[in-house]
Every structure is written in C-alpha cells, then in structure tokens.
Structure 1
C-alpha cells in the first residue's frame, strides 16, 4: 500500500481530518478540541523525565489519575478541574465504568468518549447527569443503543453529538434526539439502519449547522425532511449510493450551505442543476458521480467554490475543463483518475488561486508539467502513476510554497528528481515511491529541514539509510517508509 498514491478515494475533502481519534477511523466532533491543549501528555512526558516543569495543577491531576480508585466523587470540585481529570483519564485509557461513576453530577461540558473501549448504555446515566451543562458528546464506535439515547433528553443544551460507527442505533433512537433543538452538529457516519422515515426526527433541529450521514445507505428520500434547516452549512452524504437526482431538489433551498459532499452517489448532470442556487457553496465533492460536460455548465455559476472534487470519472476530459475558468476562487481541485491530458492542464492556467492540485493521471507527461509554472501559490501537488521523468520535474522545482509533493508510481524518476526538488525547503510531506531513487540520492534531501513524512517504498533505499539521514540532517522527520 505504501507505494500507492497517498491520496485515497474520498479523502480529499474530509473537513475534519485534523481531529482524528486514536485509531483515525472517524472524525471527532468539536468535543475533541481539548486534545490540542490537554496537559495530560505533558504530565506523562514529565513522569518519563522529559518536557517542561509541570504546574501544580498538572501534578495534582496526574496524582488523581494514579489513585483514581480512591475517589468516589468529583462533584464538589469546580467544573473545570473535574473536566481536566476526566480528560486525563480518557487520554491515558484508565477510565472505567466504575471510575466514571465519580463524575456523576459534575456538570461537565464535553465528554469525548469516541472509540473508548467498553462504552455502552450503562454509561449513559452518568452522561445524562451532567444535565444542561453538557454541550458535546462523542460516543463514536460505542455499543450504545436506541435505549441509551433516551437518557439525553434532559441535556437540553447539547450542541454537538457524534455517533459514528454506532450500528445499534436506528430510527427509534433518532426519535429520542428530536427535542434537542440546540444541536448545531450531528454525525451518524456508517449507519445501515437509519432510513428516510427516520430522518423526520431531524426536521425540528432548526439550529443544525453540520450534518454528517456518510455511508448511510438507507436515506434516499429522507433529505426532504431537512429542507427547512436553513442554518445548515455542511452536509456530508458521501458514499451513499442510494442518493439520486431527486434528493438534490430539497437542497436547493439551503442557501447557507457551504460544504456539500455527495461522492459515489447516483447524482447526474440534472441533479447538479438544483445546486445552482447555493451561492455560498465553497466545497463540493462529486468524486465518482456519473456527471458529464453538462454538469460543468451548472458549476460555472458557483463562483464561491474553493474546493472541487471531480475524481474517479472517465467523462471528465480536457473539454470539460474550459468551464472551470470562471472559478477564480478555486483553491483545491481533484482530477485524479479522470482522462485529463497535458492539453487540459493548459486550460487551467487562469486558476491562479489554486493551492492544491491532484491529477493522479496516467495521461500527464513532462509536457503537461510545463503548465504548472503558472501556479505559484501551490501548496499541495499530486501526480501519481503518470509518465513523468526527471526532465518534467524541472517545472516543479520553482514552486517554492509546496508543502506536500506526491510523485509516486512514476517509474522513470531517478536521484536527479531529488536534486531538482532540494530547493523546496517548505516541504513537509514527500512521496517518490515506485521510482528509481537510490540511497545515493538521499543526500539531496538534507536541505529539507521541515520534512516530517518521507515515503520511498519500492525504491533502492533501506530503512537504515533513511534513519541515518534523519539523525544527521532531518530532525523533524517522524514518519518514513520503508521503516
């Protein structure tokens, strides 16, 4: 797998990809924000003799974690301290159903239990005891069922709920959420039991801003129930192959919609015509949808678009791209696994705002790369599986803002390519897998001090070669292959 393109199908526009859980299987809700500022990691590092000097609070919380079985309740503590203790227990994977009881009536605001082992309906009573203070709950990957959701009815101020991968929740469970009118974010990714009828429970969630129903195969016809949610800004129904043109019509009135993901659906050119009214749309993912040239006529009116994914569609050709020239705000474009050629790239020359371009196209050659010199603002470039040679890479060497470069599957690239890109000192991720790069070429990577990820699988390079480069010249390199 390491030698393949790093950009997988449906990966381009995952809005929450920076909020990954322990396993990275799903995207966290807003309740995971504490992970970015949590001191628990620092406390653990201090225990091991590294990191800065801990604060008194850090030491106290760490001590409580060590002696958690001696504490029966934290309800008398200020809420922010109880929250920090809870966060530390979750982070360190030391929270149990028994120790969770100590947090009853603590008025906690955020309960991030996404993919935490053992969470089921028996935990829900303590969760509900937080009452109106509770703002966000992440129970992704848990064994919570419809019965467990009844406990949330008293948490009237809930703003964010995440039930990704909770396959024991059905339409009956959704009914118990219908009264949570303060919800702004709701996620039920990969649920096989939610149906169009069950989505009627969403119709009263008038404050909903974000709704994620990715991989929910039974929701065809249910989008009619959300047509009144005029505050909705983000809708993800990726990989719901039940979605058709008829499902697009209810969306035409959601004029505040900024992000729409309908990849791998059955939406055609006709369905896209209903999107023309969405004049605030900045993100549109139609990867794998059976759209053609006619679709681009509709898209050309969406002048606010910043992210567009048209990948995995053999009807997207050079002739289509001329319709993109009016999208002057476009920053990210995915044309991977289309039939776009060198000639098509020249038609993109007017998209001067592009920061990310994914071609992954075998039809792109050295001649096509000459057109990339116009894209001075590019931060991310992926051209995998094409017929590129070192000569073509010369057209990339001056794209000085690049932080991600993926040239994997180009079997003619040699050590000369590494020499040519040695001046791209902003690079953080580099992939030149399945090429002719050798250990001798690694010397050219020494100037890339910002490099954190390096993939050279199926090259004449060993893990030991990369380790030597890391220790001597690339101290920030944390992920590399082969390893």
Structure 2
C-alpha cells in the first residue's frame, strides 16, 4: 500500500521488477510479512538475567564484532581451521548483513559447511560455485534463487553427493542441460525450480532418477506440459507445486494418479477441468489441494469426496456457483476452505452449516454474502479465521459472529460495517488480527474495540482515525502490526503510538501532515522491522531519529523530502540490517 490511497483485494502476483529483494516478498504496501519472511538465521543472542552464554556463542559474537568493515573480513584467508559450527554461523551472519562478497567467500573454501542460503543474494554467479562445491559431502542444503548461475556453474554440484535440498528459483540461465548436471544427486529430497522458462517436458525426464524426492516445486514453468509423465515413478513425493503453469491440462493429471504418497498438490491457474480432477481419486493421502483459478465447477466435489484426508481446499476464482454447492456436505474433514471471488450467495453457506464441523478457516472474499447468510456460521465455534472482505456484510450480520469465541482473525475490509457494528465483536476475546479497511470507521469504532487487548495485528487503512482516536491504541499493548493510512493523523497522534513497544510493522502512509517530529516519537520502538511514512512531510533531517531502530529492514518514505543518498548513508552508519528502502 503506501503509494496508493485505497486498496481492493486482488490475486497475488509475483511479477516484480525488484532484484535486491526476494520476489516472494515484493508486494508493495502492507509489510506485515516482514515479521516472518526472513530466512537468514541471526547469530545474535539475548540473555536473561542469570543466564551464561556458551563458549560457542561468545566466540561467534567476538569474531563478528571484528567484521565492522569490509576490509576486516577480507583480512581472513581461511576459516577452514575453525569448527564447522563456528564457520557456519559466521557465514550466516555475513549473508544476513549483506557483507559477503566473492572475495570474502574464498575464506570459506573447504569449511565443510552444511547450509548455504544465498537466495536472492546480489552478485552470486558461476564464479562462486567452486567454493560452494568445495564443501563436498558435508553440503546438505543450497539456495541459489535469483542468482546468475548458469548450467555450467550448476555442474560443480556433482561433487556434493549428499545434497538434500536445492533451490534454483528464478534462475533464468538454467535450462534442461543444467538439470542433467544434478541428475546424479539421487539423495535430493527437495528441489525447487520456480519461474523457469527454459525447462521443457523433455528435460523433465532427468527428474525421473531423483527417486528420493519428497518435495518438487515447478511453479510458473510454462514449458512442462506433457512432462509430468516422467515423475510418476517418484513414489516418495509428498508435495508437488505446479501452480501458475497455464500449460497444464487434464492430460497432465493422469500421471499424478501414480503418486500415492502425495499429500499436497497445487495446480492453480491451469487449464484443468472437472475431468482432470477425476484422476486424483486414488490419492488417498492428499490433504491439501489448491485449484485456484482452474476451470472447475462444484461438480468436481464428487471426485474430491473420495479423498478421505482432504482438509485444505482452495477454490478461489473458480466457476463455483450455488448450483451444486450441496455437494460440500460430503467433504466432512475440511479444515480450510477458500471460496473467494466466486459467484456464491447466502444459499451456499446454508450447505456449510451442519456438515463442516471441523472448519477452522473460511474465505468468502468478494462473494455475494450478506448479513442473513452469516447465521449459518453461528455454530462453527472452532472457526479461527474468517475473511468477509468486499462482501455485503454489515452491522446486523456481525451479531451472528459474536459467539465465535475461538475466532482469531477476521477481515472486514470493504464491507459496510460501521462503528456501531464493531461493538458486537467485543466478546471475541481470542481475536488477534482485525482488518477494517473502511472509510466509515472512526474514532468511535476504535473505542468499541478496546476490550480486545489480545490484538496483535490491526489494519485501519482508510479509516477516519484522528489524533484523539489514537489514545485508544494504548489499550493494545500486544500490537505487532499497525496500519493507519490515509487518515488525519498529525505528530500529536503519533505520540500515542510510541507506547506500543511490541510493534514490529508500522504503516502511517498517506498522513500528509506528519513531520520529522513523528520519527522522533517512534524512535523508541526498537523492535520495528518495517516502517512506512510515505506521502508525508518527513525530511532528511528527520532520518537521525531512526538511528536507534537497529532491527529495521524495510523503510518506505516515498513522496517525502528524503533522498536515496541520505537513506544509504543512514544504512551504512546506523542501520546495518536495512534491506529494502524507498526511494532507492
């Protein structure tokens, strides 16, 4: 969000021009994903009073204290004499802080490292592969996603015969010839080749030898139609992702019937129809099925009823209507059901009332659901997540949800719910996440929510919250993510936010009256990972107040009087963990 004044729920897209930041996380705007998306392990440790650090922790901490500048790193010719645990931690720290270079990488030659997580790391190419392969039989996991490694570079991995996990997502220069280079890695249990235009159906024949594969990811590989026949012998396969492969048709489903251990199958946005789904009847262990955007109707439920363990079903953006929805009654073990963006009404919910007794998550985004339909959800006390965004639900309908004491997350964005309706949510004491993107929500609505002290995520994008209303935020001591965008906040209102010491994500964009004083007010929120104060009156002078936010990894100050040069200067001197910033 940040750059827009309003939002509309829409299908996620991974298309993005960003290179320095993983394409998995390039959604603009809401940055809640920063709280859990960083895979690089940190070696920092925090001791409770009376605890004593181990010698290993002390050693790693001391070594990393020496690496304040790049030239200090390059003084070390080799870490191979160190115990593997220590050299592994040093490697992780350098990657996390973006200080690993082709020069410093050489020091890790022959260190017997086990895990090399270089996904989306800048500069990785074939010249790095010699040192990577020098880890030999010790190497268990490699992530080269988004790199410039080619087929030739991949040939180095043939010396790493114990490799278990290999991620080559978004590696544009790897083709069928590259797959030949890894054909001998028969111990591989996980292989990911997302978004590769060069892999063909014929090239997939090489995968038939990887008999120990448990997880295979071919998302957005447009040339694999007809190639799935080569994986039908991978009887240990438990997870297969072929979503966003619009070349996939019904004929590709038949080979999958042989994958008897398959537990998770994602085939969204393909040309698969009800006929293709009929080939899945024999997958008795299948528990997750993603059919988003496929050409299926409610008639496919006849085939799905033969899957006894099916618990997670995504029918988002399919051709589901009320016609045939009574067949949902046969899916008695469903725990997660996504029916978003389908032409269903309250009549469909009536079929869910009595039979889906185990349902924990229900998505009805952009369906023709109104207040009367919600009465059918009143008995689902095990429901934890409910998405009603962009529906016709209003204040009256929320009365039917008041008894769902186990509800932890509810999305009411783009509904007609107003301040008075929010009072009916006061009894949902388990609620942790609440999305209220709606212009009709005001300070009064926020006041009605103050009993929900367990909230950790609160989205008030577009709500008419004023400085006075921010006084109520003091009640939400556990908030980790807060968005108040497009409102009428001034520096006075931001002063109340500084009491929320648990905040990790803060989005205050579109509040055009905020100045450098707001940055001073939040300078004590040292747990912040992402901060967005776009379209405000922030200047370069205000950046000094961010020096204390050592954990900050994303900073967005678009349409402010701030230059990329000054943000880079701040990062180099005070914010070493900052990965993404705008302007850039």
TM (norm. structure 1) is 0.90
Q: What's the offset of the Cα at 1:356?
A: 0.6
- Alpha carbons 1:339, 1:363 under 8 Å: kept: yes
Is 1:151 aligned to 2:190, yes or no?
A: no
The correspondence of residues 333-352 of structure 1 with structure 2, limited to 5 A, is 333-349=337-353, 350-352=355-357
Q: Within 2, Cα distance between the matches of 1:376 and 1:22?
A: 44
Change (3 A) 1:376 1:472: closer
Q: What's the offset of the Cα at 1:41?
A: 4.3
Residue 451 of structure 1 corresponds to: 455
- Alpha carbons 2:249, 2:276 under 8 Å: kept: yes
Aligned mate of 2:327, from 323, 327, 341: 323
Residue 439 of structure 1 corresponds to: 443
Residue 403 of structure 1 corresponds to: 408
The correspondence of residues 70-469 of structure 1 with structure 2, limited to 5 A, is 70-313=75-318, 315-349=319-353, 350-410=355-415, 412-461=416-465, 468-469=471-472
Q: Within 2, Cα distance between the matches of 1:10 and 1:402?
A: 28
- Alpha carbons 1:115, 1:142 under 8 Å: kept: yes
Residue 65 of structure 1 corresponds to: 67
Q: What's the offset of the Cα at 1:292?
A: 2.1
Q: What's the offset of the Cα at 1:338?
A: 0.8
Segment drifting more, 163-172 vs 423-432 = 423-432
Q: Within 2, Cα distance between the matches of 1:470 and 1:42?
A: 31
Residue 25 of structure 1 corresponds to: 23
Task: Let me know the Cα RMSD of the aligned residues.
Answer: 2.5
Q: Does the residue aligned with 2:74 lie in a helix, a strand or coil? A: helix
Q: Within 2, Cα distance between the matches of 1:118 and 1:466?
A: 47
Q: What's the offset of the Cα at 1:24?
A: 5.2
Q: Within 1, Cα distance between the matches of 2:332 and 2:291?
A: 19
Change (3 A) 1:468 1:196: farther
Is 1:40 aligned to 2:43, yes or no?
A: yes
Q: Within 1, Cα distance between the matches of 2:251 and 2:23?
A: 31
Q: Does the residue aligned with 2:352 lie in a helix, a strand or coil? A: coil
Q: What's the offset of the Cα at 1:321?
A: 2.2
Q: What's the offset of the Cα at 1:5?
A: 5.7
- Alpha carbons 1:26, 1:164 under 8 Å: kept: no
- Alpha carbons 2:175, 2:198 under 8 Å: kept: yes
Residues paired across the two proteins, number: 460
- Alpha carbons 1:280, 1:304 under 8 Å: kept: yes
Change (3 A) 1:164 1:335: same
Gaps of 5+ in 2: 26-35, 486-507, 509-584
Q: Within 1, Cα distance between the matches of 2:399 and 2:126?
A: 59
Q: Within 2, Cα distance between the matches of 1:10 and 1:382?
A: 19
Q: Within 2, Cα distance between the matches of 1:371 and 1:434?
A: 25
Q: Within 2, Cα distance between the matches of 1:481 and 1:8?
A: 23
Q: Within 2, Cα distance between the matches of 1:305 and 1:243?
A: 22
Q: Within 2, Cα distance between the matches of 1:96 and 1:162?
A: 20
Q: What's the offset of the Cα at 1:316?
A: 0.9
TM-superposition CA deviations, 1:290-344 (whole Å, max 9, x none)? 112331111111121010011112x312233221212221110000011111011
Q: What's the offset of the Cα at 1:435?
A: 4.4
Change (3 A) 1:467 1:115: farther
Change (3 A) 1:37 1:92: closer
Q: What's the offset of the Cα at 1:8?
A: 3.8
Q: Within 1, Cα distance between the matches of 2:152 and 2:468?
A: 56
Q: Within 2, Cα distance between the matches of 1:192 and 1:441?
A: 50
- Alpha carbons 1:366, 1:387 under 8 Å: kept: yes
Residue 479 of structure 2 corresponds to: 476
Q: What's the offset of the Cα at 1:442?
A: 1.1
Q: What's the offset of the Cα at 1:271?
A: 0.6
Residue 534 of structure 2 corresponds to: none
Q: Within 1, Cα distance between the matches of 2:481 and 2:21?
A: 18
Q: Does the residue aligned with 2:191 lie in a helix, a strand or coil? A: strand
Gaps of 5+ in 1: 12-20, 28-32, 47-51
Change (3 A) 1:469 1:367: same
Residue 16 of structure 1 corresponds to: none
- Alpha carbons 1:64, 1:85 under 8 Å: kept: no
Q: What's the offset of the Cα at 1:279?
A: 0.7
Residue 30 of structure 1 corresponds to: none
Q: Does the residue aligned with 1:381 lie in a helix, a strand or coil? A: strand
Q: Does the residue aligned with 1:389 lie in a helix, a strand or coil? A: coil
Q: Within 2, Cα distance between the matches of 1:444 and 1:97?
A: 56
Q: Does the residue aligned with 1:337 lie in a helix, a strand or coil? A: coil
Change (3 A) 1:337 1:35: closer
Q: Within 2, Cα distance between the matches of 1:121 and 1:37?
A: 22
Q: What's the offset of the Cα at 1:473?
A: 3.4
- Alpha carbons 2:60, 2:89 under 8 Å: kept: no
